[in-house]
Amino acid sequence: MHMTFATQIQLNPYPWFLDLELVRSLRYQIQLPTSARTIRKMAEAINHQEVHDLLVKVAQKSGDMIANAQPHVNTTGSKKNSADLVTETDKAVEKYVIGALKERFPDFEFLGEETYVPGMKLTDKPTFICDPIDGTTNFVHAFPNVCISLALCVYKSPVVGVVYNPYTTHMYSAIKNQGSFLTMPVRTDNPHSPTVPIAPRKIRLPRKSYPEPLTGLQNALVAIEWGSDRSGRNFDIKHRTFTKLAGSTENGGAMVHSLRSMGSAALNFCHVAAGQLDIYWEGGCWAWDVAAGWLILTEAGGIVVDGNPGGWTPAVDGRRYLAVRAAPSGQKELVEEFWNCIDGNMDYSA
């Protein structure tokens, strides 16, 4: 009969820690936390470039799986409701990613969308974070704004990030303190390569070497997402805020240039990093949606603050985000102007 730790202690007539056989058996019953010293050693031993190169290869292979799949709307499963979709490709890609990363880094933790179970937390230990298909709704409709998002976090902060759209073959990547880049296909007029009219080019982000100052919401292109929760307090806050952002100044609105809802949090972060969007407001997504894009944005000079007013230092797994592009001036002022448009505080603690 198998006995629990507590039962075995009660049956022992002397201190349990003197029973070597019991101590040996407990190692299989108790998962001890990784010590701070061990985590520090693991972090110091990481070769960020090696991890980056591995994530790029894994993203490309995963991208082939995504691009070659044939999803169908009518055979797609759902998690919470008809807007929260999952496909067999999501699961297959994450299974491949876990195998590829664990083979090289077996001691690192893994946090993925399709293998997540309630209660799992991001810890200080080196952790790979994966969204196998960010933009699943786009994927099942063959709308080509889809990506795989891969990041390595240490001490709950991203240090390597890769976001790859297999349909456009745009690869966004970053290593902490080394900048962020977009590798994309461009037409080449190289007379020495007449048979290769298109070749990949690596471009430092943001796309503009000298970004313009941010001059307020009236001059901003803003990304928002509806999310899969379409009722309740958080949805009401979003709906009211969207209306205020788009509304005319005569009616108390911000009259932004326009709102964009493109279905991928990771790619939204990357578009802000590239300077193609000025700001992105999000509530309800998860660490796997934003970890890689967060690093790509901040390495490009952008900032991430809380999606609720007043929070200047949000957590990667905080589920509320406001991302702002790089600019020589105006970031803080734009954040505060945006916060003034938010009608209430979103709460995703449940």
Neighbours of 251 (CB within 10 A): 9
Is residue 105 within 8 A of residue 127, CB to CB? The reply is no
The first and second tokens of residue 130, run together, are 């994966």
pLDDT in tens, 228-275: 888 999 999 999 999 999 999 999 999 999 999 999 999 999 999 999
Cβ-proximal residues to 115 (8 Å cutoff; 6+ apart), any chain: 94, 98
Kindly report the backbone phi and psi dihedral angles of residue 227, in degrees, each rounded to the nearest multiple of 5, phi listed first.
75, 180
Is residue 170 within 8 A of residue 182, CB to CB? The reply is yes
Q: Any catalytic annotation for residue 134?
A: yes
Mean pLDDT of the chain: 89
DSSP reduced 3-state for 157: strand
Is residue 48 within 8 A of residue 176, CB to CB? The reply is yes
pLDDT in tens, 277-317: 999 999 999 999 999 999 999 999 999 999 999 999 999 99
Q: Which of 90, 113, 114, 282 is catalytic?
A: 113
Cβ-proximal residues to 64 (8 Å cutoff; 6+ apart), any chain: 166
Q: Which of 89, 136, 137, 241 is catalytic?
A: 136
- Rounded CA-CA distance 127/109 in Å is 4
Q: Any catalytic annotation for residue 347?
A: no
Q: Which of 90, 94, 124, 131 is catalytic?
A: 131
The first and second tokens of residue 211, run together, are 């970004």
Q: Which of 322, 291, 328 is nearest to 308 (CA)?
A: 322
Q: What's the mean pLDDT in 320-331?
A: 98
Q: Which of 90, 114, 278, 289 is catalytic?
A: 289
What is the largest distance, in Å, between two alpha-carbon atoms of the chain? 86
300 class by beta-carbon count within 10 Å (0-12 exposed, 13-18 middle, 19+ buried): buried
Q: Any catalytic annotation for residue 46?
A: no
- Rounded CA-CA distance 114/91 in Å is 6
Q: What's the mean pLDDT in 326-336?
A: 98
Q: Which of 66, 129, 133, 296 is catalytic?
A: 133
Is residue 225 within 8 A of residue 268, CB to CB? The reply is yes
Question: For the ranges 170-179, 197-206, 291-300, which has the lowest average pLDDT?
Answer: 197-206
Kindly report the backbone phi and psi dihedral angles of residue 125, in degrees, each rounded to the nearest multiple of 5, phi listed first.
-65, 145
- If one compares 75 and 323, the residue with the highest pLDDT of the two is 323
pLDDT value for 29: 41
